Structure 1
Amino acid sequence: MMAVAALVTIGLGASGCAAAPASPPATTTAPAVTVTMDAAALRGQFADLATELGVVGAAMLVRTPQGEATATYGVTDLGGSTPVSLDDHFRIGSNTKTMTGTVILQLVQEGKIALADKVSKYRPDVPNGNRITIEQLLTMRSGLANYTTTLALNTALDTQQQRVWDPEELVAMGLAEPPTFAPGDGWNYSNTNTLLLGLIAEKLDGMPLSEIFQKRLFTPLGLRETSYPAADDASLPTPFPHGYMYSTNVDTMETSTLPPTQLAQAKAGTLLPSDTTNLNPSWAGAAGAGISTIRDLAHWVEALGGGGLLSPTLQKERLASVQPVPFPLPPLPDPQYGWGIAKIGPLYGHTGELPGYNSFMGYDPVHKVTIVVWSNLAPAADGRPPAATIATSLMKSIYGS
């Protein structure tokens, strides 16, 4: 689903299933894994997959103890001649969730909120709010419906691309839908959870989320090319690639894969994707409206997985909070989800997608491996998320499995 996948993270808009058991403490013993990096081979692999997926442009960054490998592919505009660069700004989609989650955990650290607090303490309007905890919002186990799966939102994204959305009206869409399960009884990737967390953070910190991110995250880490735009700002800082998608949000609600005839036309180049660059991202809010560059995002995910944003104890607990997602999510290997953070294979991080932009960021604090990939086509004509598909392939090459 475009709007569901739009904040495609590990959940890809999946429905709830049985909850997993409590997570065991994180191990500090490194598994017997050999990390290898053949930079030339990784670049070739990246280019081959970008071609296969039909993306307009893409970039990759890989770091291991053996060094760094980067590569770019294609152009910033369909039919244009400006090559993609590592300095390009792109919409990071659900990678933004890791920022919102980090702010909430910093507030926990400061004693302003507790993971065991009931949501009704801060939002009396939430169904089952007296039973839903802050932790369940972070882990996608609240049972609250996902507002991005509603026909109303998908229709509006197709017909009112410059609409400025208030997070309260988006939350209201999610709360108006029946809960998918009782709190704690399942797992369902719902952007409603993260929007609520963003509103709670604003209430506790007494400032807009953009200022909270800048003060707590971007400035301390020196993320000068990362931003959270104002609701009425649909622009991207220069330089930036245009974003592209096939079909419409409504037409792809059931599947992101084009019908066979259109898929053949896309592969032949007779069906072109539409330009979604200026689709106002305020509909994604705290769940996915962020902007960054590939180097800034690499720095962010290394801090996210490696520490420095939280106390050592809370950081360890956050990494230990991840639980297996109770169904496969191709192409992601062994996906897990925790306190506003995903674990994909050995990497902690997230994925993100808005119409026209797909990204993947991951960091392995044991073997010191970083992988970041973005593309400016999302999803591919065959329904695959380009950046996540490429990153998964690179990961398998680096780890040898």
Structure 2
Amino acid sequence: MYIRTGRNALLRLAMAVSVCVAALLPATAGPAAAVPAPGASAAAPPPGSATAAELDRVIRRAAADAGVPGVIVGVWKPGQPRYVRAFGVADKNDGAPMRTDLNMRIGSETKTFTVTALLQLADRGQVRLDDPISKYVPGVPDGRHITLRQLAAMRSGLFAYTKDEGFQHLLKTQPHRQWAPRELLRIAFQHPNLFPPGTQFDYSNTNTVLLGLVVEKVTHCPLRDVIRDLITRPSGLKRTFLPKAAEFPRPHAHGYTDFTPDGEVADATDFNPSWGWAAGAMISDLDDMRSWAVNVATGRLLSPRTQAQRLDAQPTGAPGDFYGLGVDINHGWIGHAGSLPGYQSLTVYLPAQKATMVLLLNTDIASNDENPSTLLGRAITQVISPGNVYGDASDQD
């Protein structure tokens, strides 16, 4: 937080706020549709519920097999009692149990917010998805031929800074370091592009960091303020935000990672997520993510035309998996997964059944080379949607 005193400083602050407010006023077509926030997490379903009992069993088994300390699970399906449970521990030191009301880091689910902001600006006519990134950010390799659409779809060919060995070393040895977006891009741009834009899929945080800068340039506001004013506030997401640094509101779960110099497990709770910024730094909770899952999948903040473009997804190369504009479609489930040291998340919606699933974990440690969030998502959907099993590697379609 920056605090300045004096009349001139206050005047400058007031002017900056007024500029942001003006830039973020709803488009003339009317404000984005408000999404009522769900109430507090409900009690568990009736003890006699066969589905609930089966979910209890498969979640406990999958979490134990993957070595997950704790997980928050929410499943909502029309005509069935909602399933909201917490398993395991939030703190391995004192054994504090996981709770359904904890704040959690959501990693790459941040991408759904950043790209939604971009798509809202497109709806307002302030950007065009087929604009080249060079129009907004100078110095991008081949930037005259890489469009905003290709960045949002992970088809730009730009190198992912997270794959740079020097960056990985710094992230392991200096986990509390504050990173600036331009630093991250400098690392990415030291590497040649992987392929001509639009020809392949390659998941890269570099793409979304660039889109965050586009949103800031067009609105003249910090990205965190744009997300608040255009997305979380109209959607009633009261506990979802993009932090400036490592701030983490209580109550929250401790997170555990083996992304360390020696590969030993460490408490990553206070690691600084600024290295993810527009691509992976946000914080939320179960109830907010339940609402957001429906919002993303149904396009409540976007025009029907723009939502259709968002969901015009292309294959990623993984079985049954497609990627649209800042959104993943996996065996029919629409949403996104997130991962950063100490935490993983999965927030998805299945339109065919109007079903929602949210998982929030306090570890990112892989099990048999798979994300624990994928393992849990697969186990749960085998019970609730056997025709649409999330992360089903056996589906070769």
TM-score (norm 2): 0.82
Equivalent of 1:323, from 314, 329, 333?
A: 314
- Is 2:137–2:213's contact at 8 Å kept on the other side of the alignment? no
Q: Deviations over 1:3-54 (max 9, x none)?
A: xxxxxxxxxxxxxxxxxxxxxxxxxxxxxxxxx9812211221111111111
In the other structure, the counterpart of 2:161 is 147
Residue aligning to 1:392: 378
**1:108 to 2:122 alignment:** yes
Does the C-alpha gap of structure 1 residues 109 and 294 become closer, same or farther in structure 2, counting only changes over 3 Å? same
Please tell me whether the aligned partners of residues 140 and 193 of structure 1 are also in contact (alpha carbons under 8 angstroms).
yes
Please, which of 59, 67, 79 is the counterpart of residue 54 of structure 1? 67
User: Corresponding residue for 1:18?
Assistant: none
Deviations 1:259-287 (A, max 9, x none): xxxxxxxxxxxxx7211111100000000
Structure 2 residue ranges without an equivalent (≥5)? 1-48, 388-397
In structure 2, the partner of 1:314 is 306
Check the 8 A contact 1:358/1:388 in 2, yes or no.
no
Contact 2:339 2:364 in 1 (8 A): yes
Question: Which has the bigger relative contact order, CA under 8 A and spacing at least 6?
Answer: 1
> Given that residues 90 and 293 in structure 1 are in contact (C-alpha distance below 8 angstroms), is that contact kept between their aligned partners in structure 2?
yes
Query: What letter corresponds to residue 155 of structure 2 in structure 1?
Result: R
Tell me which of 236, 244, 250 is aligned to 1:222. Answer: 236
The 2-side partners of 1:70 and 1:392 are apart by 17
Q: Show the counterpart of 1:32.
A: none
Gaps in structure 1 of 5+ consecutive residues: 1-35, 253-271, 329-333
Please say if residues 108 and 279 of structure 2, whose CA atoms lie closer than 8 Å, have aligned partners that are also in contact: yes
| Residue identity in the other structure for 1:223 | L
**In 2: Cα distance, 1:37 partner to 1:301 partner:** 25
Distance in structure 2 (CA, Å) of the matches to 1:370 and 1:117: 34
Alignment check: 8 A CA contact 2:86 2:99 kept = yes
1:245-264, aligned counterparts within 5 Å?
A: 245-246=257-258, 248=260
**Counterpart secondary structure, 2:109:** helix
Give CA deviations for 1:196-234 in whole Å, capped at 9, x if unaligned.
00001000011101100100111001111111101xx31
**What SS does the corresponding residue of 2:82 show, helix, strand or coil?**
strand
The amino acid across from 1:293 in the alignment is D
Distance 1:64 1:83 in 2: 26
1:276 aligns with 2:268: yes
Mapped contact 2:111–2:208 kept (Cα < 8 A)? yes
The DSSP-based 3-state class of the residue aligned with 1:359 is strand
SS of 2:302's partner is coil
Deviation at 1:388, TM superposition (A): 2.0
Aligned equivalents of 1:284, 1:38: Cα separation in 2: 37
Q: Distance in 1 between matches of 2:50 and 2:114?
A: 32
Query: Matched residues in 2 for 1:226 and 1:124: separation?
Result: 31
The Cα offsets for residues 284-340 of structure 1, whole Å up to 9 and x where unpaired, read as 000000000011111111111123110122223322x11111244xxxxx1110111
RMSD: 1.6
Whether 1:197 and 2:211 are equivalent positions in the alignment is: yes
CA–CA distance in structure 1, aligned partners of residues 50 and 252 of structure 2: 29
- Is 2:173 the counterpart of 1:159? yes
Displacement of 1:235 in angstroms is 2.5
Amino acid corresponding to residue 72 of structure 1 in structure 2:
A
**How far does residue 381 in structure 1 lie from its aligned partner after superposition?**
5.0
Q: Which residue of 2 aligns with 1:187?
A: 201
Q: What amino acid sits opposite 2:362 in the alignment?
A: N
Verify the 8 A CA contact 2:111 2:279 in the aligned structure 1: yes
- Go from structure 1 to structure 2 and tell me whether the alpha carbon gap of 1:37 and 1:204 turns closer, same or farther (over 3 Å shift): farther
Aligned to 2:333: 347
Mapped partners of 1:325, 1:384: distance in 2: 17
Letter paired with 2:238:
R
Separation in structure 2 between the aligned mates of residue 335 and residue 190 of structure 1, nearest angstrom: 16
- Tell me how far apart the structure 2 counterparts of residues 140 and 134 of structure 1 sit (CA, whole Å): 10
Q: Distance in 2 between matches of 1:247 and 1:288?
A: 16
**Structure label with greater radius of gyration:** 2
